[in-house]
Amino acid sequence: MNLYRRIKKLIGKAVFGYDLLREGDRVLITLSGGEDSLVMTHYLSEWRHLYNQNLEIYAVHLDMGFPKDEKDYKKKTEYLREFCEKRALHFIFDKIPAGILAMEAFDKGTASPCFVCSWNRRKYFFNLADKLKIQKIAFGHHQDDVITTFFMNMFYCGELSTLLPKQEMFKGTLYLIRPLYFVEKDMISRFVAKMGWDVLENPCPFSGETKRAYWEKFLKENIFSLDPVIKKNLFSAIFNPRPEYLPEPPKRGK
């Protein structure tokens, strides 16, 4: 099976397995311009034609306010606009001060810059979804993100949890969906290279220094590299809990 069909099959596994898309859905794609969001945008645009679903899709790219080469950035955002228009998608470009607020928080030591940036970004998407009557917000998280989040939640939160393929928000008026849930990052990178798409690099000055970036690299270089079956089994374990072999919290004394 070629790479295109493999990715399509894995996206279908998520879409059909978790009822991610329905006839007439209004979908907002978070289009950062990175590899993951480009692949997600491409496949979701095809989904309407392959399965005759009357989907109304809005691809949204945000200028987060981080310092960057403005001339190059303008060129890349025009590329994203053309990328969407070729696929008959609504393209929305907007600017928010999330990056500036994140850097200010870092300088003052008042909050995690990643938290500040993510919070403001999600707030924007939720408000826009309400304005456009959106039912689904699609994020480009992939299998590697799911595994990394699983470990990070153990290490830093003391719980067994991870990203969900479909997450209910606001009592079911909105859902966060992750169509790339079963797709490996390596497959995404190879497909983008094969297609020759122009990728917009993340301008965030903290992107390579976060805890997530550290653990992504650690898992790839020190765990996944030991044996190809390890990554597969780690991902499978998320779907295969054995409650009978996990202790309940001890009873409190009187």
How deeply is 53 buried, as exposed, middle or buried, from its count of CB atoms within 10 A (0-12, 13-18, 19+)? middle
Do 227 and 89 touch, CB atoms closer than 8 A?
no
Least confident of 19-23, 81-85, 101-105, 245-249: 101-105
Which of 237, 41, 221 has the alpha carbon at shortest distance from 146? 237
Question: Residue 37 and residue 40: Cα distance in Å, rounded?
Answer: 5
- What confidence tens digit (pLDDT) does each residue in 153-175 have? 999 999 999 999 999 999 999 99
Q: What's the pLDDT band for 207 if we cut at 50, 70, 90?
A: confident
Which of 140, 117, 120 has the alpha carbon at shortest distance from 205? 117
Residues 6+ apart with CB under 8 A from 142: 36, 180, 181, 183, 184, 185, 188
Q: Residue 238 corresponds to which tokens in the numbers above?
A: 């998320």
Token pair 């992750």: residue: 178
Do 64 and 28 touch, CB atoms closer than 8 A?
no
Q: Residue 176 corresponds to which tokens in the numbers above?
A: 């966060």
Note the pTM of the prediction, 2 decimals.
0.94
- What confidence tens digit (pLDDT) does each residue in 241-254 have? 999 999 999 998 76
Residue ranges of domains in the chain:
3-203
For residue 18, pLDDT beyond 70: yes
Question: Residue 92 and residue 41: Cα distance in Å, rounded?
Answer: 13
Fold of the domain built from segment(s) 3-203: Rossmann fold (3.40.50)
| Phi, psi angle pair for 90, to nearest 5° | -75, 130
**Positive or negative, the Cα torsion across 224, 230, 232, 234?**
negative
Do 138 and 44 touch, CB atoms closer than 8 A?
yes
Q: Which residues of 116-126 are buried (b: 16+ CB within 10 A; e: fewer)?
A: bbeebbbebbb
Question: Residue 18 and residue 180: Cα distance in Å, rounded?
Answer: 12
Q: Residue 143 corresponds to which tokens in the numbers above?
A: 């299998």
Q: Residue 215 corresponds to which tokens in the numbers above?
A: 């653990």
- What confidence tens digit (pLDDT) does each residue in 88-103 have? 999 999 999 888 888 8
Do 69 and 27 touch, CB atoms closer than 8 A?
no
